[in-house]
Each structure stands twice: as C-alpha cells, then as structure tokens.
Structure 1
Amino acid sequence: MSALTDLLADWMPGQRWFAGKGRTWASVTEDGFFLDQGTPALSVHRVHVTYTDDVSETYLVPLSWRSSQDDDLAHAYVGAVGDNHAYDGMRDREATVPWLTHLVAASTVGPLHFHPAGVAYIPEGVPGDLISGEQSNTSLIYGETAIMKLFRRLEPGLNPDVEVHDALRTTENPHIAPLLGHVQIEGATEGEEPATVAFLQAFVPNASDGWRLATSSVRDLYAEADLHADEVGGDFAGEAERLGEATAAVHRDLARVLPTADVGTDWYGELATQLTARLDAATAIVPELAEHAEGLRTLYAAVADLTAPVTAQRVHGDLHLGQVLRTTTGWIVLDFEGEPARSLAARRELDSPLRDVAGMLRSFDYAARHMLVEQPGDPQRAYRAQEWAERNRSSFCAGYAAASGTDPAGSPLLRAFEADKAVYECVYEARNRPHWLMIPLTSLARLASS
C-alpha cells in the first residue's frame, strides 16, 4: 500500500459515515485526482475496501492539502504524506468552495461531471458549513440558499434522491425542496455506470425538524401529570394530520411522474416470504424476538392471503420524523435515497406507499417512548406515551386518508410493514443501543397480538 492508503486505512474506521466498523480489511486501494489546486488544494479519492469475507465497498473521500499544520483544523486532521498535511475536505471550509464553482460552470474535472439543474440560483464563492450528526452521508449548508449532500458510499447508477427530486420538479409539489444540481463520477471500470457523488438542493431556512417538534410535544405531556394528550398546549396531533396530508400528496405525485405497476396475489405471497425470512434472520440475532415470532408469522401469513389489487410505485423508502421539516407554510419531505444500507437497486424497486406510512407510524412510537428508556419502570409515563402515540398515529392516518381517499388505518398490510420495520429496529438497537431495545419490542408485542 502507498503512504496515502495507509493513512486512509487508519483514519476511515473512525468516521461516522464508514459502514465497515469492526470488520477486518483484506485490502485497500485508492485512485484520486485534484478538483482544485489552489490553497488549500482539494483532491477527491475513491477508496476501495475489500474485507476478509470478500465483500467490498467504495467510498468517496475529499481531502484538502496544506503545506503546514493548521491548529484551527485539528479536528479535521487526517495525517501527513511527506511534507504535505491532509485534512477532511468536508470539514475544511476553504476547501468546500470549488464544489459549487464547478457546478455553476457545469464542469468536467477528471472523472467528475457536474450537472446544474438550471432552475434556480446556485451560490458561488461561498464556503459550506458542515451539518453535524449525520452518519451515512455528509452535508454542507452554503449560506441560506443551498445544501449539498455528499454520498460517501458509491454505487453505480443514479441515486434515488436525485432521480426522485428531478422527476418531481414538473409537479411543483410544495412539500419538496427544489433540486439545484448533482455530480456524478465515471465508473471505476470499463462499462460500469457512473455513480452519484453529490446532490444540491434548495436549503429551507428557519425550519423545524419533525423529530424535535414531536419530542417537545411528548415532554410537554410528561410535564403535565393531570392532562391528556389532547389537552396539552404542545399537542402535536394537528401537525401529525398535516404531515399525513403532505405524505399523501408526495405519493400522489410520485405515481404521476415515475413508473407504477399493478400487482396482486403473487406480490403478496413474495412479500410474506420476505417478511418471514427477515424475521427468522433477526431472531437469530435478537433472541428476545422469539417471544413474538408466532404472532408475527401469523400476521405475515395473513398478507399472503390478501387478494385486493395494489398499485406499486416509487416511495420514499426511509420515512420518519427526522426526514421532514416544518416551515411557516407546511411540511417538507427530505432524503429520498431510501435506507442507505440497502443496495441501490433495492431502493429503486416499486413498493406500496404503506411502507412509508408504516415508517412514520414507527417514528411516532419512538418519539413517544424515547424518554422511557431512562425510566422503564414508570407505568404512568408508559400510559401517557401510549396515549400520545395512538393520538398522533391516528391523526397522521386521518390526514393521509383525507388527501389520498384511502384510509390506511387497520390495513393488515400496514401492520405487517410496521412489524417488519420494528424487527429491523430490534436488530439495530441490539447492535448499537441495547438499552433502547424495549421500544421496538413493546411495539411488536402489540402488533403480534393484534
């Protein structure tokens, strides 16, 4: 390995966006080029990691280069190669300017191709400020007008976030932030499709994160020991209903501008098989799931018996309260890339819109119960959490029904999607936050017995 690949092999496992934590590397290679040769210089690298189980991943790593160490950038320091010092190019503000400069110019630099959408102003010459807390990707806010998401793990093909936003441009849907442009990189091998590197869209200033709004409402309820959820000043039900309406509006327009397919009994059968297989795999990882397995298999078997026609379509794929923003005029839905852990092909598959509804219902359960993690033995709080969750889940479904003409509440398909999401959550919590495992397990006890 070269000095740079050695450096990256030491640095990458400590980054939040790196998905291979704890895995043993068999080999690592990189190819890079300069996007800008000013001061600091900015290079872009594709880092190809192969693990000992023969699984491989490719990551995008921008690096800024300085001739001496900068104490103000100590938090972004990667290491030295000879007399040159490398920094995380997304944390070095001066090094973030070239991205939008090239996008405005529709440049081609090495294997990178910049594609402005040509519909709105792109701020040029402005540095980007890193959004903290992200994991699978890295985002920069440029002033108050644009936000760029850098896709760290590269896969051949157009990322759904770009594809969906581009398609929705013609609908003028008020619940979408406009696409401003995207960046692609040529395939690493001959014949391989370009991969999406970055995505720029309009930034929504003065907006409130859906998760924060919902959890503030829960805290208000907990603080009022004698009041019900509909009596608290911070009641969220009205917002939940409007969010349901916004979700239905997005689904309607997705069906207008992207492919759909009528599916029936075969689709139900295949889905039930997939759900059961995921349950079996998860139970091997989370033994606590065994208590609910029989009820869940019964729930999934009921899906296999369904016969009502379904129109499958493109959906969000990872909808939850952290993916929506409340502005002064309404809700904005973000991040249409789907679950990053799934393959790009899987994220582009047609599905039932109820998959997204289920994701949001699960998020309401999480918002209601996240404070119980620290006080699991408080029956009064547990009752109030359930009350808040039921009220807001019902309000969301009511809003969705009013806007779509179809009431999702009570659907066996919706319950199955909810259960599948909760099973996934059990695996995630068991691996990352074992003390949070009680949240999806509580929900599964309800779903398995329904």
Structure 2
Amino acid sequence: MAFEEALATWLVKQRWFAGKGRGLRDLAIVADTEVVGGDPELRHLIVTVSYDTTVDYYQVLTGLRHELPDELQHAHIGPSDDGRQVYDGLHDAELTRTLLAGIAADESIGRLRMRTIPGAAFETGLDSLVLGGEQSNTSLVYGEESILKVFRRLSPGPNPDLEVTTALARLGSQHVAEPFGWIETTLDGVPTSLAILSRYLRLASDGWSLAATSVRDLYAMEDGTGDGVRAAEAGGDFAGEAYRLGIATAQVHADLAAAFGADVLGDGVLRELTEQMFWKLDLAEAAVPELGRYGEMLGDAYSSLAKLRDPIPVQRVHGDYHLGQVMRTTETGWVVLDFEGEPATPLAQRRARSSPLRDVAGMLRSFDYAARHQLIGHPEQFGLNAVAGDWVRRNASAFCAGYAEAGGQDPDENDVLLRALQLDKAVYEVLYEARHRPSWLQIPLDSLAEF
C-alpha cells in the first residue's frame, strides 16, 4: 500500500499525466508482469486512475534495486513494500535491452506480446537513452539505430501511430519512419498497443527548431527603427522548407486515403461539426472571459461553415499536426511522426475520418506559434509584431502552395472551411494555454485579433 501511495504522488507530477486538476480519487495496479527478475528487476504495471466519473489507464515500467545508483536518483518513485527502491525503469539501460531483444525474438512475457514486423532488420544489444521534452509519451533511443516510443496513457485498442505507419510503410512512403515492431497487451478484452519500435532518424532536425532558428535570425536583423525587415530577407528564410513540407503533407494525405479510404461529409455531419465548434467556444469563453471579445467573429466563421453545401472530402488524417511532429532529413526530405492524434481525444475519434484541411490548419497555427512564442518578454515585442506577421504569412503561403501543387485540396478554394478549422484550433489553444501555460495565453489571443 505504501508503494501505491508513492506511485500516485510520482504519477501526478509527470508531464504525460493527463489528469492534472481533475481530482484524482483512486489509483490501482490492475496488471503486474515481471519482465526481468533479480536485482535489478523490471516490472510492467498497468495502473488505473479513477476520477469522479471516468477512469484512465497508464503503463509504468518500474525498476527495483536494493541500492539506487546516483545516475538513477532522478527517476526515483519510492520504496517498495519489501524495502527495495522503485524507479522509472525506462531510464535504466541495463533493463531496457530486454525490450529490444524481446521485440526481435517475437517474445511473449506474461500478458506482454513483443512482435517484429516481417522483414524488419534492426540491431539488438544496444544501450538506450531516454529522450527529453516529450509531453505525452516516453521514447528510448537505442544507439543511433532505433527508437522505442512507449505510450504512457493507454486507450484499449490499436494505437493509430502503429496502425498508420505500418500501412504507409507498406505503401512505400518515404515520409514516415520505418516501423520495426511493437509491444502490445490485452486491455478490456481487445489488443492494445503499448509501444512502437521504429527507425531512428539520426541525421534529422525537427521542424520546430528549424522554424524557430529562422524566426530568431529574422528578429536579430531588426534595427529598432520600426521600419521592419522582411521575412524574405532573413538568411535563414524558411519558405523553401515550408513549401517542401506542404508537398510532403499532401503526399502523406494521398497515401492515407489509399490505405484507409475516403468519403465525403454530409450536411447533417457538417451541422454536428459546427455545433461542436460552438460548444468548445462556450467552454473556452467560460474559462477565459477575454475570448468573449472575439465571439462574434468566431460565430460568423462557424455559421459560414454550416452553410456550405458542397461535399467536403474526409479521410484518415494526422490529427495533431504541427512543426514538432515533422523532421527534416538529408535522405528523404520531410518525415512525419506521431500519427496517434491528440492524446486527450477518444481513440474512436482519433481513428475517424476528417477533413485533411484539419492538418493544414494545425500546421498554419504552428507557424503562428513559431513566430510569436519568441516575442514573449522580448524588449522589442511591439515593434516586432509586424515582422512576425510577415514571417507567418510568407511561410503559410508557401506551405499552402506546395500542398495544392502536390494534389492536396487547394486551401485558397476552401477558405471558409480552412478558416473555421484554424479558428477552432485557436480556441482550443486558448483553453489549453490557460490551463497549462498561462504565460503563452497571449499567443492565440493575439492571433485571433488578427483574423
């Protein structure tokens, strides 16, 4: 019982814990599998966290040692009931080799099933390193060969990331990291993804970092005269990469349609979609009263969407598309990551068909974030607002041009839908920032002021 109390205390402090502020009522370990015996020991736990009306599942791989070395102190959870020290076992390279070897061997351990994708070849016996910065999962890099993404919050059923990357790799897409294998269990009677092993993109740069560098270079050119530099003048102009990213995005959408099919959105479903947008707006306005000043503009955009009569194509999409989900590689150009969708969204909704312009809207909002987040606390913030807007417009235009040229729905010809989707995303951002990053709340609010 002492361990479960320590686990609950540790769990709510993790970045990937989704229940912050929801009033945790109860925690229970519902599955406990010994993966490695001895000292150190590795155990796989599935934990339920109960709230007033809902229950969430989490997986925690715990290491146990009689003495915890200094390099693992940061992963300490608490004492076990038998007096050993319990810690986050994913940080222990001595233990995590077992996961890589188990996938290679198609091994089953208790309720855990480790599987290799036919034809996949990857090196085993490598030490792992936990990547920092992730908010929803925990990823281990083995050498410079493979990466194991461990899903922390579980939803019974197949994880879209495994489902999509496997299907796209089968089609020969060069815009996804090749999957090697996975780990699964059975949860609520259905096979449930626990982790996915993929090729590690060791010579790649993430889109957010590349865009942020371009913005930083541009702001550094501002001389304080108020005349304002142009985004095209920056040495690290990002527009070429934005254009190529648009092409890659359209190609991924085409592959998704080929793999999972496509349809059109009927009038009734469109009305339901706009009703959901209005409902989310009401929720956000209640939490952030400042949003009310944009209520009329938002309502007009949603109402215009509801009046559309032309069929709206829908298909499987990424669902949580932004600059942090793409990597620029030297070999194949842009690669898209993390097809699991927004983790807080129910699994059925994440796997449902949607307009591909939802992903376009997400990327356009990400360009806005890339430009504006560096203005927070900047001494020249007021003077740089116009510069930021120019950077956003230039890169959004380049991205949309590439997307349309490669066969995606032309954003210019679907401006009512795209505008509503962008605004819906901005409303979501307002609520998210108010709850999790109040210092960033001004980013989506300033964006709404310029729509």
Do Structure 1 and Structure 2 share a fold, with TM-score over 0.5? yes
Other-structure match for 2:397: 394
Report the equivalent of 2:108: 108
1:195 is matched with which residue? 192
> Residue 373 and residue 156 in structure 1: after superposition, are their counterparts in 2 closer, same or farther (change >3 A)?
same
- The aligned counterpart of 1:431 is 435
* Pairs aligned (count): 442
Partner of 1:68: 67
Please say if residues 39 and 66 of structure 2, whose CA atoms lie closer than 8 Å, have aligned partners that are also in contact.
no
Name whichever of 71-80 and 214-223 sits farther off: 71-80
1:223 corresponds to which residue?
220
In the other structure, the counterpart of 1:305 is 307
Distance in 2 between residues matched to 1:151 and 1:378, nearest whole Å: 38
TM-aligned CA deviation for residue 197 of structure 1: 0.5
Structure 1 position 340 matched with structure 2 position 343: yes
Quick one: distance in 2 between partners of 1:267 and 1:26? 36
CA-CA distance at 1:29 after TM superposition: 1.2
Stretches (4+) displaced over 4 A: none
Please list every run of 5 or more consecutive structure 1 residues that lacks an aligned counterpart in the other structure. Answer: none
1:163 equivalent in alignment to 2:167: no
User: How far does residue 67 in structure 1 lie from its aligned partner after superposition?
Assistant: 2.0
Question: In the alignment, which residue of structure 2 is the partner of 1:13?
Answer: 12
Letter in structure 2 aligned against 1:338: G
Whether the 8 Å contact between 2:250 and 2:408 is mirrored in structure 1 is no
Indicate the residue corresponding to 1:133 in structure 2: 133
Distance 2:431 2:161 in 1: 26
The CA deviation at 1:231 is 1.5
Describe the SS at the equivalent of 2:174: coil
Distance 1:146 1:369, change over 3 A: same
Is 1:210–2:224 an aligned residue pair? Answer: no
Quote how far apart the aligned CAs of 1:126 are. Answer: 1.3
Shift of 1:122: 2.4
Instruction: Give the Cα separation in 1 of the matches to 2:400 and 2:104.
Output: 42
Cα offset for 1:115? 1.6
**Counterpart for residue 366 of structure 1:** 369
1:317 — aligned with what?
Answer: 319
Q: Does residue 88 in structure 1 map to residue 88 in structure 2?
A: yes
The correspondence for 2:382, drawn from 372, 379, 384, is 379
Measured after TM superposition, the shift of residue 38 of structure 1 is 4.5
Verify the 8 A CA contact 1:264 1:308 in the aligned structure 2.
no
Residue of structure 2 aligned with 1:277, choices 279, 284, 305: 279
Q: Does 1:421 align with 2:429?
A: no
Moved more, 359-368 or 194-203: 194-203
Q: 1:377 to 1:69 in 2, by over 3 A?
A: closer
Amino acid in the other structure paired with 1:229: A
- Partners of 2:420 and 2:244 in 1: how far apart? 24
Structure 1: which amino acid aligns with 2:163? E
In 2, the alpha carbon distance for the partners of 1:244 and 1:405 equals 9
Match of 1:29 in 2: 28
Aligned partner letter, 1:306: L
TM-score, L = length of structure 2 = 0.95
Distance 2:307 2:158 in 1: 36
Residues 203-244 of structure 1, C-alpha deviations (whole Å, 9 max, x = no match)? 111111100100110111111126411122110000000000
Distance 2:119 2:304 in 1: 47
Asked if 2 retains the 8 angstrom alpha-carbon contact of 1:100 and 1:122, the reply is no
Query: Could you tell me which residue of structure 2 aligns to residue 292 of structure 1?
Result: 294
Instruction: Supply the distance in 2 between the matched residues of 1:434 and 1:66 (Cα, whole angstroms).
Output: 39
Return the offset for 1:390.
Answer: 0.3
Whether the 8 Å contact between 2:322 and 2:362 is mirrored in structure 1 is yes
Amino acid in structure 2 at the alignment position of 1:213: L
Contact 2:357/2:409 (8 A) holds in 1? no
Cα pair distance change 1:218/1:96, threshold 3 Å: same
**Whole-angstrom CA distance in 2 between matches of 1:145 and 1:405:** 33
Question: How far apart are residue 83 of structure 1 and its match?
Answer: 3.0
Following TM superposition, by how much is the alpha carbon of 1:405 offset from its aligned partner in structure 2, in angstroms?
5.3
Using the alignment, how far apart are the partners of 1:150 and 1:172 within structure 2?
Answer: 25
- 1:440 equivalent to 2:440? Answer no
Structure 2 residue matching 1:24: 3-state secondary structure: coil
Task: State TM-score, norm by structure 1.
Answer: 0.95
Give deviations 1:292-339, integer Å, cap 9, x for gaps.
Answer: 011111100111111112221000000000000011131010000000
Deviation of 1:248 (Å)? 0.3
Checking the alignment, whether the CA contact within 8 Å between 1:171 and 1:253 is kept in structure 2 is yes
Corresponding residue SS for 2:435: helix
Amino acid in the other structure paired with 1:358? A
Q: Is the 8 A contact 1:260 1:313 kept in 2?
A: yes
1:72 aligned partner, one-letter code:
E
Deviates more, 1:273-282 or 1:372-381: 372-381
Task: After TM superposition, give the deviation of residue 146 of structure 1 in Å.
Answer: 0.6
Distance 1:223 1:106 in 2: 53
Q: Which ranges in structure 2 are unaligned for 5 or more consecutive residues?
A: 223-227
Which amino acid in the other structure matches residue 431 of structure 1? R
State the AA in 1 paired with 2:67: S
Q: Which is worse superposed, 129-138 or 73-82?
A: 73-82
Q: Alignment partner of 2:341: what SS?
A: coil
AA of the residue aligned to 2:448: L
The equivalent of 1:266 in structure 2 is 268
> Which residue of structure 1 lines up, in the alignment, with residue 50 of structure 2?
50
Deviation readout 1:54-85 (Å, 9 max, x if unpaired): 32111101011112232221111112222322
What's the CA shift for 1:22?
Answer: 3.2
Question: How far apart are 1:377 and its partner, in Å?
Answer: 6.8
Q: Deviations over 1:320-373 (max 9, x none)?
A: 000000111310100000000111111111000000000000000001111221
Match of 1:237 in 2: 239
Identity %: 48
Partner of 1:4: 3
Worse overlay, 209-218 or 302-311: 302-311
Once the two structures are TM-superposed, the CA of residue 435 in structure 1 deviates from its matched residue by 2.4
The letter of the residue matching 1:353 is P
User: Which residue matches 1:78?
Assistant: 77
Q: Deviations over 1:253-285 (max 9, x none)?
A: 000011322223223212111111111111111
